[in-house]
Amino acid sequence: MTINRRVFLGTSAALAGSLAAPMIARAQSVPRVVVVGGGSGGATAARYLARDGAGAVDVTLIEPQRIYQTCYFGNLYLGGFFDYDDLAHGYGGLASTYGINVVHDWAVGVDRDAKTVRLASGPSVPYDHLVLSPGIDFVDGSVPGWSVSAQGRMPHAYKGGTQVQLLRAQIEAMPQGGTFAMVAPPNPYRCPPGPYERISMVAHYLRENNPTAKILVVDPKESFSKQALFEEGWDRHYSGMVTRIGPDMGGSSFEVDAEAMTVTIDGVVENVDVCNVIPGQRAGQIAFAADIVDGNWAPVSAYDMTSRIDPAITVLGDAAAQGAMPKSGFSANSQAKVAANAILASLTGSRAFPARYANTCWSLIDTDDGVKVGATYEASDEGIVSVDSFVSQTGEDAETRAATYRESLDWYQAITTDMFV
């Protein structure tokens, strides 16, 4: 077997996992911070807590997967711009470089009174402060006719990993002239431009390999992020291929049948060859187990991302109801740095800095045709609020769009380094 960086990281992560169980009950002379979820929020928080804490806190990261597959840029894998392995990152560096206790297990319960996290394998992990960054789960019944049991035939591909591989295999197997359908999610959901970048990348693949194929988008929303930019791009690059049905045309009255491979829109049955169903979303299950949710999301303080229900718990990223920031990997990474600084200040007396947040969401529409939207944010009593924003413009020249795409590649390298290296 050839040993490369990714294999090494995965091997290191496995070693960290094998060593983790005896370390769970370590004697503690310093405050204990437990982080649940090893994505953009959790991995960043764990790294900054361990790095900036410099031994002043003990950090445990609980994450069931030994290899993290980023959701962002998964669409570029569907379009043929990324290889699947390009999305993969291991946890070995967090363990070996920063001394983080990486436990590869499911967190299934939280006892807030005892301050412990229960693992699926049985033991409980004590904490002085708990960070939850579990990402999303799906709202049962949000797409009539679909449930998680149907994800093998109608994949969601919205949590990264093998679902994205399955969706790509289905697209590649489409008959010439076939139909790809997407059921887009209602607000709020992870990565507001994500479904529409996916349409662009699927269209790119089909134009090159199945040019008479059609794409049908069933969308319950009146509008969506970067809509003018996407629609301009679809007209320019994929003329006649993409049809979006919004709520005014029946997009809010639909159901799917995974066995029959049909989508029924306002009573009209459409036979499809591939159907990507992206359901309504909510905070990951561990937030519900901790009983810190209000509705589908976990409300937090904008000043430090601590739970409004339990200040000994911080909630990051997609799971948090924090105000104006979109649910994105960039947002989670930004929130994690604010939270790590606040946690260290609370537990060790180090300096706390005012909360400042930022986000940018890049999307690729076609080869070298990249667009972006973003903002900077600050904290208020009402929540995180935007202080300024920017967005790509329709009609931009080719070099501007190409530069935006290159910028997105640089960001991907930067954020994954910030998380794992």
Q: Do domains 5-135+284-351 and 147-277 have the same CATH topology?
A: yes
Tell me: pLDDT of 250 over 90.
no
Distance CA 111, CA 277 (A): 35
User: Residue 309: its pLDDT value, please?
Assistant: 98
* Region 343-358 average pLDDT: 97
User: Residue 29: its pLDDT value, please?
Assistant: 84
Longest dimension (CA), the chain: 66
Q: Which residues contact 142 (CB under 8 A, 6 or more apart)?
A: 185, 186, 279, 280
User: Residue 156: its pLDDT value, please?
Assistant: 98
Domain 147-277 has CATH 1.10.150.120: no
Tell me: pLDDT of 90 over 90.
yes
Tell me: pLDDT of 119 over 50.
yes
User: Residue 87: its pLDDT value, please?
Assistant: 98
What is the rounded average pLDDT for all residues in the chain? 94
Task: List pLDDT tens digits, range 136-167.
Answer: 999 999 999 999 999 999 999 999 899 999 99
Distance CA 372, CA 362 (A): 4
Distance between start and end Cα atoms, the chain = 24
Q: Are 59 and 53 in contact (CB under 8 A)?
A: yes
Tell me: pLDDT of 183 over 90.
yes
Report the percentage of the chain scoring pLDDT > 90.
Answer: 92
The full set of domain ranges for the chain reads 5-135+284-351, 147-277
The pLDDT-based confidence of 1 (bands split at 50, 70, 90) is very low
Instruction: Return the closest-CA partner of residue 233 out of 244, 224, 242.
Output: 242
User: Residue 251: its pLDDT value, please?
Assistant: 76
User: Residue 252: its pLDDT value, please?
Assistant: 83
Tell me: pLDDT of 19 over 70.
no
User: Residue 28: its pLDDT value, please?
Assistant: 58
Q: Which residues contact 329 (CB under 8 A, 6 or more apart)?
A: 39, 40, 70, 71, 72, 191, 317, 415
Distance CA 299, CA 176 (A): 47
User: Residue 2: its pLDDT value, please?
Assistant: 31
The tokens describing 162, both together, are 């093998």
User: Residue 221: its pLDDT value, please?
Assistant: 97
Q: Which residues contact 338 (CB under 8 A, 6 or more apart)?
A: 304, 305, 355, 356, 357
User: Residue 291: its pLDDT value, please?
Assistant: 98
Pick the CATH number of 5-135+284-351 from 3.30.70.20, 3.90.1150.10, 3.40.50.300, 3.50.50.60: 3.50.50.60
3-state secondary structure 31-71: CEEEEECCCHHHHHHHHHHHHHHCCCCEEEEECCCCEEECC
